[in-house]
Amino acid sequence: MQPTSEAIPVRTLPSGHVLTVRSFRFSGCSVEAPRVYIQAGVHGTEVQGTAVVAQLLAELSNLPQDSILGEIVLVPNANPHGLNSKSGEHTVGPFDPATGLNWNRAYSDLSSLEPPKGSSVSAYKTLLVNRLEEMWSKKSASCSAMQRHAFSLQRMAQRADIVLDLHTSARGNRYVYGPAYAQTAMAQLNVTDFITLSGRCDGALDEAISCPWIRHRARLGSDSEMPFGLTLELGDQEQIDLEEAKRDAQGILSLLRLNGVLTGPPQPLFQSFHVASDQNFHPVYAPSGGLFQFEVQPGSSVRAGDRMGTLLRLDGAHPQLEPVHAPKAGRVLTQYPSAICHQGVELYKILGPCEVLSFVVESPLK
């Protein structure tokens, strides 16, 4: 089945060119099936997700029409401005070079909107969609370029039941952020670590989509019907790996089968995952400016006090070496991408303590 395609305007540039984001839509053949929105590349440098969406486009285009039950909207590059912004060999990345603001902190938190008593999941979803449209109609004439861009993307995401925002770390492991009630879906993805959203929204897309449901979950009944937003972190920035993108895409297709968006069984799973809340992050900060040798790789587990690397300090009478240690035990998820460190930069991000969750999903075809 071939998708339809649309170019959505997000910004008029000083030169008069209109910057657009291209979306691809596969219309599902069942109105009952969940709707899906998947975007990649909002942080400019984080391009593996774009390779994954390209793979999804190829795979879905090869499926017969009656095997796609729910509507699927794909945006391979959600931020052309971020992708094009180079300074020498370096891509500017997660921050708008004009304002310094993070591209993934401008989505609207709608969780103050209470579901009416006895409200169904679908009725509350309609309320959220309508609230976002009201906000857009009031603000669109006068808002920042970043808010306008985020609105354009969130309007597509808000209509979906399953939202995936594909990112990478500067350097990092493969892991996923999402609400605890979506862990069975998260287990389908090509990752080893889950970070469960606490319900606090700092303007990231996964939080903007999930937080109303986390906050009002007790009043809305069935976990299995509740929409969710995930942020999927796919390794290192500035690189694509097309073989890995096939594995990432297979995980996403399996999630869509598990949730009844595509026909067919999900992949069999016999895997354990490290799980912790987004309140359990422990940064390792550079104690001084200097040059840092990284001695632990993302994906490792460390104990409190383990040596993480060595800082070559240039601020004394002579260059000197200073070891840096883990403040807490946990999983090393990310690493700073450069040996050249200002005082206080985040050298590593450790997640812990983690629970170990095991999932077993046997294929019905076995």
- Beta carbon of residue 22, minimum distance to Zn ion (angstroms, whole number): 20
- The string over 178-200, giving b where at least 16 C-beta atoms fall within 10 Å of a residue's C-beta and e elsewhere, is bbbbbbbbbbbbbbbbbbbbebe
363 by Cβ neighbours in 10 Å (0-12 / 13-18 / 19+) ranks as exposed
- Of 71 and 96, the one with the shorter C-beta distance to Zn ion is 96
The nearest distance, CB 82 to Zn ion, in angstroms, is 10
CA distance 67 to 178: 27
Report the Cα 189 to chain-centroid distance in Å: 12
Q: In 10 A of CB 101, how many CB atoms?
A: 16
Q: In this structure, which amino acid lies at residue 208? A: A
CB-nearer residue toward Zn ion: 43 or 125: 43
Q: Which stretch binds Zn ion (CB under 5 A): 39-47, 69-77, 119-127, 319-327?
A: 39-47
Q: Pick the closer one to Zn ion by CB: 43 or 159.
A: 43
Contact flags string 42-81 toward Zn ion, x per CB under 5 A: -x--x-----------------------------------
* Span near Zn ion by CB under 5 A; candidates 74-82, 163-171, 317-325, 346-354: 163-171
Least distance (Å) between residue 107 CB and Zn ion: 13
Contact 52, 234 (CB under 8 A): yes
C-alpha distances out from residue 71 to 62, 82, 259, Å: 16, 28, 13
Contact between 171 and Zn ion by CB under 5 A: the answer reads: no
Helix/strand/coil for 199: coil
Instruction: Please say whether the dihedral angle defined by the alpha carbons of residues 178, 181, 183 and 189, taken in this order, is positive or negative.
Output: negative
Between residues 43 and 174, which has the closer beta carbon with respect to Zn ion?
Answer: 43
Q: Which is nearer to Zn ion, 203 or 265 (CB)?
A: 203
Choices 57-65, 136-144, 159-167, 295-303 (CB under 5 A): range interacting with Zn ion: 159-167
Which residues, listed in sequence order, are joined to residue 350 by a DSSP beta bridge? Answer: 282, 332
- C-alpha distances (whole Å) from 120 to each of 218, 222, 227, 299 are 12, 9, 12, 40
Query: How far is it, in rounded angstroms, from Cα 174 to Cα 52?
Result: 13
Closer to Zn ion by Cβ: residue 4 or 338: 338
Q: Which of residues 307-326 bind Zn ion (CB under 5 A)?
A: none
| CB 94, min distance to Zn ion, A | 6
Q: Minimum distance from CB of 79 to Zn ion (Å)?
A: 10
Q: Which is nearer to Zn ion, 167 or 313 (CB)?
A: 167
Residue 202, both tokens: 């700092």
Nearer to Zn ion, 71 or 236 (CB): 236
Please give the residue whose beta carbon sits closest to Zn ion in the complex: 167
Count of residues that bind Zn ion according to CB under 5 A: 3
Q: Pattern 83-122, binding to Zn ion, x per CB under 5 A? A: ----------------------------------------
Structure tokens at 181: 């009630």
**Torsion (CA) 40, 43, 45, 49 in degrees, nearest 10:** -20
Identify the residue among 167, 174, 313, 331 touching Zn ion (CB under 5 A): 167
Residue placing its CB nearer to Zn ion in the complex, 235 or 266: 235
Task: List residues near Zn ion by CB under 5 A.
Answer: 43, 46, 167
